[in-house]
Amino acid sequence: MPELRLTETPAIVRAPVERGGTRLVAVGESGVLTLVLRRGDPQRLAQEIGAALDCDLPAVGGSTDATGGARLLRPAAERAHLVTPGSSVPSAAEGETFYGIDQSDYWSCLNLSGPLSRACLERLWKPDLGDAAFPPGAVARSALGPVAAVLCRLRPAAYLLLVPRSYAQAGFDELETSLAWV
Amino acid sequence: MTQHHRIGGGLVDRSQSLSFTFNGRTMQGHPGDTLASALLANGVRLVGRSFKYHRPRGMFSAGPEEPNALVTLGEGARTEPNTRATMAELFNGLQAASQNHRGPLGFDLMAATDLLAPFLGAGFYYKTFMWPRAFWERVYEPLIRRAAGLGALSGQDDPGLYDKGYRHCDVLVIGAGPAGMAAALAAGRAGARVILADEDFRPGGRLLAEWHEIDGQPGADWAAAAWAELDGMEHVRLMPRCTVFGVYDHGICGAVELTAPDTPEDRPRQVMWRIYARRTVLCAGATERSLVFPGNDRPGVMLAGAVQAYANRWAVAAGRNIAVLANHDGGADLAEELRAAGLSVAAVVEAHNGQGVAATRGRLGLRGVTLGDGRRLDCDCLAVSGGWSPNIHLTCHLDSRPVWCDDIQAFVPGSVLPEGMRVAGAANGAFSLPDCLAEGQAAGRAAAEAAGHPAAAPVHRASGIAHAPAPVWRTGPEKGRAWVDLQNDVTAKDIALARREGFGAVEHLKRYTTLGMATDQGKTSNLPGLALLAGATGRSIPETGTTRYRPPYTPVSIGAFAGRERGRHFRPVRHTPAHDWAARLGASFTESGLWLRAEWFARPGETGWRDSVDREARQTRAAVGICDVSTLGKIDIRGRDALSFVDFVFCNGFASLPVGKVRYGLMLREDGLVMDDGTTARLGEHHFLMTTTTANAGPVYRHLEFVRQCLQPHWDVHLVPETDGWAQFSVAGPKSRALLSRLVDAPFDISNAGFPFMACAELTVCGGTRARLFRISFSGELAYEIAVPARYGNALGAALMEAGADLGVLAYGVEALDVMRVEKGHPSGNELNGQTGPVHLGMDRMASRRKDYVGRARLGISHVDGAEDVQLVGVRPVREGDTLWNGAHFLEPGAAATLEADQGWMSSVTHSPALGHAVGLAFIRNGAARIGERLRAVDLVRGSDVEVEIVPPHFLDPEGERLHA
C-alpha cells in the first residue's frame, strides 16, 4: 500500500476582479486563530493576550496590528480573530482568560480595496460604514447580503472580510456583482 | 410632428434634440423634457383612455400625482406599463404607447362603455353578475379580467437589473425644493452627514415652475447653485431620481432610486435603498387639487400649477388660448405669467367669488367651456386650481393622523410624528417662499444640532405670498358628470350614491367607490372626495377624517423589492469540502438547505436512481461505503462548566460521559418537544464537540447561545461554530475498520478493544494530518466518522477510495444513507419535525426524571392535537410486492377514511435492498402496544390502499451486533 498523503484544496479559487481602481481578491493562504475571551478581568485578559501573541488586545469593534504582518480583530467582547499571512497560526495560544482554536479552515479571507470599495459594500452591508461609525481599524460582524461575515476596515479604502468557507464563493460573487454595478 | 407648442424660455437644453416615439410616430424633444412635456410640445393632448368609461384623457398634472397620462414604455421583455408620462425622463430612443383602448387611441371601441355609464356607477359589480351562477367563472370572470386594468405586462421575464443597498446619515432631507435645499444647506454647512433625496431628475421643486428670486437670483439658478455647493461637500450625498416611499420604525426610510435613462443595460435600473437617518426633514412639498365640475376630465383640463410648470420649466404651451379657474387669487397671477409668455388667456374664473364652470366641450380635446353664468368661451386649455394639499403622507406611515387647517383648507401634519422627523415648507402648510426657506433652514439646523453639529443661521432673501383658497370644492350644476377621481373614473354622483347606500364613513367610501385606490393613490382626488362626502353627510371635513396612509408613497416595482435576489443571487450555494471529489466521481447532487449534497453516484449501465441507491446500500452493508457528512453541524463547547452545560441542553444524561466517548443526545425545546438530535463527543475534561443535523446547525447554535447567555449566564462555557472547518466522512460497513486502519497513523489503536463503539479520539492520519475519529453509526453497520480540516476534504475522499479499492469500497450518497437509517429504525427529520416528543419517538425512558434540563417542565405535556398518543413503530407490507407511500394514513380494516378513524401516519418509507421489500416508519396511535396488528396504509392522493403489519422499527440487526463488531 503506497503511503497516502492528503493535499490541500483552497476554499476558493477565483482570479482577482478589478474595476475603477478597485480590486477584489480571494486570499489564497491565510491563518485564522479564533480566540475565545472569557468574561472577568479585562486587564488580565489584555496582559495574557499580549504575552501570548505579542500584540495589544483591541477594544470591542476594533483591531490592532500583530507581529509578522498579522492583525487581531475583535468583533465582540468574547471573541477575537488573529488573521495571519500564510496558513500557520500560533499554537501556544491559551491562558487563564482565553483560549484559541485554529479556524484557518473555517474562515476564508477576501480583500476589497480601492475607491469603489465602500460603494460595493453599501449594496450588501447593513451597518453604518461611515468614517465616524466605522473608521479605519474598525471591525464588525454582520452579513454580506445572505452571507455572514466579519468586516475589518484596514485603511480608508481597504477592507478585509472573513466569511465561512462554504460561503466563500457566494461572498465573492456578491462583491463581484456589486463592483460591476456601482 | 414638430414642436409647435414649444415657446421661449424654459430650462430644457435646446442645443440637443432627442428623438422618441409615441404610438409609433416619431417626435422630437430636448434633454430636460419629460415624456409629457415633449408630447405637449408636439401638440399631443390625447394620451390614454380612462379605466372604466374609456373616456379620452390627456395630461392633467406635471408630476407624480398624474392620474391620466399612464403609458407603456419600451417593448418586448423590457415593456414597462403604467408609467406616468409626467415622470418619465425623456431620452433618445424612448418608445411609448398609450394604454387601455381597443383600436386606435382616437377611436377606442371600448368607448361604448361610456354609454352604459348609468348602469356602471359605484359598486355596480356588487349588484350585477349574479345570475346565472354558471356564468361566474366561464363568462363574467374572463370578461371582467379582460376589461380590468390599464397597462399590460409583457409576460416575459424582466431582463432589467435591480439592486438594493443601505445608507446611513445624520440628516435625511426628503425633497429638493426651496425648503429641502435650505434644510440641506443648513445641515451640510454644519458638517452633518446629509442625504438629500428628490424624485425629480432636476432639483428645485416648484422653483423650476414658478417665477421667484432667492438671494438675488432666479429660483432655478439658486437651486442649481445650492445643489452644486452640496455636491462639493464630502459628507453630503445627493440622490436625484430617488423617491422616499415609506417611513418605518427607528428612523428608517425606504427609497427607490432610478438610474439615469442612459445607464447601460448591464447595470441596475433601479436600486432600493434602506436609509437609516438619525433625523429626517420632510420637505415633500404640496400637491395641487382640482375642482369638481361637469366635464372636468377632457384632455386640456389641467391643474393650474402644471400649466405653469409646462410654460416656465419646459417652455411648452399647454394651450394657445387658456382659461383659468381657481378658488383663490393665484389664478390672476398665473394669467399674468401666461400672457407674459405670449399665450392668450381666455378668462380668469374666480370660484372664490361665486363664479364657476358649468360644462366643457370637445371630445378628444378641450374646445371650450360654459361658465356658470351661461357664457360660452372658446379655449383649448383650462387651468384649474382648488388649492394645495401638503404632502403629509410620510408623516402618517407610522399611524399618526393629520390635522385640519382651515387657513389653507387642507390637512397638515399632526403633532405626533415619526421618530426624529420634522416637516418644513409646503409639506407643513407653509406656502409662501420666504416661509418655505425659513422653515427649511430651521429644520435643517435643528436636525444637524440634534445630531451633534451646531449650525449657523443664514437667512435666504426672498419674497412671495401664498393665496389662501376658499372652501369651494365644486362649481356648476349637480346635473352632468363631474369627475372626482380621474384614474378610477369616480364621479361626484358615485359619492352621493355611496352616501345614500350607507357608506358614509370615509374608509367605506373609499372601498365602495374605489376613490383614491388607483396608482395615483388619490393624490389629487382624496380631498375633493372628502369634501363632497362631508357636504353630503352634514359634517365638516375634519369630522369626516381621512383614510389611512400607507407606504409606498408612489408605486414601487416588484423588481426593486426583489433586488438582485434572483437567479444565482437568489440564495447562496454551499459546497462541502469534498464537493470536487464527489463531482469527479459522477455524483448527482441535491439541495439540502443551501448545501449541495451527493444523493447517489450512478454507474454505467444503471437505468435509474433506484439501481444506484440499492447498490450503494447493499454494498455498504456487504463491504464498506463512504459518505460525505460534512454538512452536519459542529459546535465546539469548552469551559469549566461545559459538562453541566451539555447535561442541561439534552434530556438524557451526560454527566457520566467519560473523556474519549460519544453519546447520542436528544435536545428538547422549552415546550418539551424535540428540537434536534445528534452525538456529542467528550474530547477533553472541559471540551466537547456537539453535532447537529444539517438543517438545525444554525437554530441549535442560536438556542445554545440563548441558554448560555440568558439561562445560565454565570457558567463558564463558550461556543464556537465549527461546521465549515471540518470535512467529515462516514465510513460504514463490515470492512470499515480495515479501511481506516490503512489511514490512521501509528500508534493509534483502532481495534475493537482499543476503539470500542461510541469512542472518539483526536489523532493524525496519512502521515501527520490532524484528524478526529468517532465510532458512531447511522446505518446500523460497524461504522466510523472521520474528520479532517476542511482543506483536506477532497483529498480524504480520494484517499479512502484508493486505500479501500481492494476492499470493495464505494461512495454512497444521502439517498442510500436514508435507506440504511430507515432499515435501522433511526428517526430523522421526518420524525423530528417539531411536533413530536420523546414519548412519541419511543425514547421516553431516555428523558431523565432526575436532572433539570431545557424542556423538562413540559415533558410529556405538549403535543399536537389529535396526535397525543402516537408512537413510532415500523410497518411492512403484508404482500411483499406492495409499495408503501410516505404520508399515507392508517385505518383499521373496514374503517371509513375519516379523521375520527385515523390511526396515524407514515413518516418515512424506503425500499429495503437488504430485505427485498418496502419498509416504513410510522406514528401510530399506541403503536408500541400494537405490534403484530394489521392495518391499512391509505393514500387517497395516490389512490393506494395497502395492508400492512405493525412491527418494531428496527428492521435489521435489532440487537446491534454489527455495531459492536
Which of A55, A79, A102 finishes a domain? A102
Q: B933, B865, B118, B12: which is closest to B493 by C-alpha? A: B118
Distances (CA, A) of B187 to B90, B455, B949: 33, 7, 79
Instruction: Say whether both A110 and A177 belong to one domain.
Output: yes
Q: Is A181 on the interface with B (CB under 8 A)?
A: yes
Judged by CB atoms closer than 8 Å, whether chains meet at B166 and A122 is answered as: yes
Q: Is A51 on the interface with B (CB under 8 A)?
A: no
| Distance from C-alpha of B529 to C-alpha of B509, rounded to nearest angstrom | 9
Side-chain half-sphere exposure of B749, counting CA atoms within 13 A: 6
Which residues on B lie below 8 Å from A1 (Cβ)? 742, 803
Say if CB A54 and CB A67 are below 8 A apart.
yes
Instruction: Say whether both A165 and A109 belong to one domain.
Output: yes
Interface test with chain A among B161, B164, B166, B722, by most A beta carbons within 10 Å:
B166
Rounded to the nearest angstrom, the minimum Cα separation between A68 and chain B is: 23
Facing residue for B268 by CB, picked from A124, A166, A181 = A181
Q: Is B505 on the interface with A (CB under 8 A)?
A: no
Say if CB B825 and CB B953 are below 8 A apart.
yes
| Distance from C-alpha of B746 to C-alpha of B480, rounded to nearest angstrom | 101
Facing residue for B572 by CB, picked from A104, A106, A167 = A167
Facing residue for B791 by CB, picked from A4, A8, A180 = A8
Rounded to the nearest angstrom, the minimum Cα separation between A20 and chain B is: 15
Q: B890, B955, B953, B883: which is closest to B921 by C-alpha? A: B953
Q: A107, A87, A94: which is closest to A152 by C-alpha? A: A107
Say if CB B498 and CB B379 are below 8 A apart.
no
Rounded to the nearest angstrom, the minimum Cα separation between B639 and chain A is: 9
Look up residue B430 and give its DSSP letter.
Answer: -
For residue B747, whether the previous peptide bond is cis, meaning omega lies within 30 degrees of 0, is: yes
- What residues in chain B have per-residue pLDDT under 50? none
Nearest CA in chain B to A124: B165
- Domain contains A170: yes
The SS3 assignment for B91 reads coil
Say if CB B321 and CB B381 are below 8 A apart.
yes
Q: Residue A173 corresponds to which cell in the numbers above?
A: 460573487
Q: Is A76 on the interface with B (CB under 8 A)?
A: no
Nearest CA in chain A to B720: A36
Instruction: Say whether both A36 and A97 belong to one domain.
Output: yes
Say if CB B522 and CB B515 are below 8 A apart.
yes
| Distance from C-alpha of B3 to C-alpha of B659, rounded to nearest angstrom | 89
> What domains does chain B contain, in order, with CATH numbers?
1-155 (3.10.20.440), 162-286+391-450 (3.50.50.60), 290-386 (3.50.50.60), 477-564 (1.10.10.1100), 574-631+725-821 (3.30.1360.120), 633-724 (3.30.70.1400), 865-951 (2.40.30.110)
Structural domain boundaries, residue A127: 19-28+105-181
| Distance from C-alpha of B728 to C-alpha of B595, rounded to nearest angstrom | 14
Instruction: Say whether both A111 and A174 belong to one domain.
Output: yes
Interface test with chain B among A1, A29, A165, by most B beta carbons within 10 Å:
A165
- Domain contains A5: no
Helical spans, DSSP H, in B69-167: 135, 141-147
Q: Is A91 on the interface with B (CB under 8 A)?
A: no
Nearest CA in chain B to A181: B267
Say if CB B358 and CB B294 are below 8 A apart.
yes
Say if CB B151 and CB B74 are below 8 A apart.
no
Measured from the Cβ of residue B454, the count of other Cβ atoms closer than 10 Å reads 10
Burial of B419 (0-12, 13-18, 19+ CB in 10 A): middle
| Distance from C-alpha of B183 to C-alpha of B438, rounded to nearest angstrom | 9
Instruction: Say whether both A24 and A35 belong to one domain.
Output: no
Q: Is B577 on the interface with A (CB under 8 A)?
A: yes
- Residue identified by cell 413503530 is B873
Q: B777, B897, B922: which is closest to B841 by C-alpha? A: B922
Which residues on B lie below 8 Å from A170 (Cβ)? 572-574
Element housing B628 (H / E): strand B624-628
The pLDDT of residue A90:
83
| Distance from C-alpha of B925 to C-alpha of B869, rounded to nearest angstrom | 5
Instruction: Say whether both A78 and A142 belong to one domain.
Output: no
Provide the β-strand partners of residue B910. Answer: B919
CA-based end-to-end distance of chain B: 93
The pLDDT of residue B127:
85
Q: Residue B298 corresponds to which cell in the numbers above?
A: 377632457
In the stretch 762-791 of chain B, residues with CB closer than 8 A to chain A read 765-767, 769, 788-791
Q: Is A86 on the interface with B (CB under 8 A)?
A: no
Which residues on B lie below 8 Å from A167 (Cβ)? 572, 574, 724
The pLDDT of residue B483:
96
| Distance from C-alpha of B920 to C-alpha of B884, rounded to nearest angstrom | 7
* Amino acid, res. A44: R
- Residue identified by cell 381597443 is B102
Q: B829, B817, B744: which is closest to B777 by C-alpha? A: B817
Phi, psi of B94 (to 5 degrees): -60, 135
Q: Residue B295 corresponds to which cell in the numbers above?
A: 366635464
The pLDDT of residue A2:
65
Q: Is B687 on the interface with A (CB under 8 A)?
A: no
Judged by CB atoms closer than 8 Å, whether chains meet at A166 and B721 is answered as: no
Q: Residue B144 corresponds to which cell in the numbers above?
A: 371582467
| Distance from C-alpha of B821 to C-alpha of B801, rounded to nearest angstrom | 23
Judged by CB atoms closer than 8 Å, whether chains meet at B720 and A36 is answered as: yes
Judged by CB atoms closer than 8 Å, whether chains meet at A103 and B720 is answered as: yes
Judged by CB atoms closer than 8 Å, whether chains meet at A9 and B742 is answered as: no
Provide the β-strand partners of residue A31. Answer: A84
Strands of B80-84's sheet, edge to edge? B25-29, B18-22, B94-97, B70-73, B80-84
B211-243: pLDDT as tens digits: 899 999 999 999 999 999 999 999 999 999 999
Q: Is the pLDDT of residue A1 over 70?
A: no
- Domain contains A2: no
Judged by CB atoms closer than 8 Å, whether chains meet at B638 and A36 is answered as: yes
Q: Is B564 on the interface with A (CB under 8 A)?
A: yes
Facing residue for A6 by CB, picked from B161, B268, B769 = B769
Helical spans, DSSP H, in A23-182: 42-53, 117-122, 168-181
Judged by CB atoms closer than 8 Å, whether chains meet at B569 and A165 is answered as: no
Distances (CA, A) of B544 to B463, B527, B772, B893: 36, 11, 74, 66
- Domain contains A164: yes
Look up residue B295 and give its DSSP letter.
Answer: T
A3-17 burial string, b = 16+ CB within 10 Å, else e? Answer: ebebebbebbeeeeb
- Domain contains A1: no
Judged by CB atoms closer than 8 Å, whether chains meet at A174 and B803 is answered as: no
Q: Is B794 on the interface with A (CB under 8 A)?
A: yes
Which of A68, A83, A102 finishes a domain? A102
A65-105: pLDDT as tens digits: 999 999 999 999 999 999 999 878 887 668 889 999 999 99
Interface test with chain A among B724, B763, B786, B806, by most A beta carbons within 10 Å:
B724
- Domain contains A98: yes
Rounded to the nearest angstrom, the minimum Cα separation between B167 and chain A is: 7
Instruction: Say whether both A76 and A116 belong to one domain.
Output: no
As a dihedral over the C-alpha atoms of residue B151, residue B157, residue B159, residue B165, rounded to 10 degrees, the angle is 90
Nearest CA in chain B to A10: B791
Instruction: Say whether both A167 and A125 belong to one domain.
Output: yes
Phi, psi of B910 (to 5 degrees): -155, 160
Instruction: Say whether both A155 and A110 belong to one domain.
Output: yes
Instruction: Say whether both A97 and A116 belong to one domain.
Output: no
Which residues on B lie below 8 Å from A173 (Cβ)? 568-569, 572
Which residues on B lie below 8 Å from A128 (Cβ)? 168, 276
Task: Give the pairing of strands B286-288 and B301-303.
Answer: unpaired
* Amino acid, res. A47: Q
* Amino acid, res. B42: N
- Domain contains A9: no
Judged by CB atoms closer than 8 Å, whether chains meet at A36 and B742 is answered as: no
Judged by CB atoms closer than 8 Å, whether chains meet at B165 and A133 is answered as: no
Instruction: Say whether both A97 and A130 belong to one domain.
Output: no
In the stretch 105-144 of chain A, residues with CB closer than 8 A to chain B read 105-107, 122-130, 132-133
CATH code of residue A159: 3.30.1360.120
CATH code of residue A85: 3.30.70
Side-chain half-sphere exposure of B817, counting CA atoms within 13 A: 21
- Domain contains A89: yes
Which residues on A lie below 8 Å from B166 (Cβ)? 122-123, 125-127
Instruction: Say whether both A49 and A66 belong to one domain.
Output: yes
B748-777 burial string, b = 16+ CB within 10 Å, else e? Answer: bebeeeebebbbbbbbebbeebebbbbbbb
Which of A69, A102, A135 finishes a domain? A102
Number of domains present in the structure of chain A: 2
Facing residue for A4 by CB, picked from B268, B638, B802 = B802
Judged by CB atoms closer than 8 Å, whether chains meet at A133 and B796 is answered as: no
Judged by CB atoms closer than 8 Å, whether chains meet at A7 and B795 is answered as: yes
Per-residue 3-state assignment (H helix, E strand, C coil) for B433-452: HHHHHHHHHHHHHHHHHHCC
Judged by CB atoms closer than 8 Å, whether chains meet at A122 and B167 is answered as: yes
| Distance from C-alpha of B216 to C-alpha of B205, rounded to nearest angstrom | 18
The pLDDT of residue B101:
92
Judged by CB atoms closer than 8 Å, whether chains meet at B568 and A173 is answered as: yes
Q: B859, B944, B952, B936: which is closest to B904 by C-alpha? A: B936
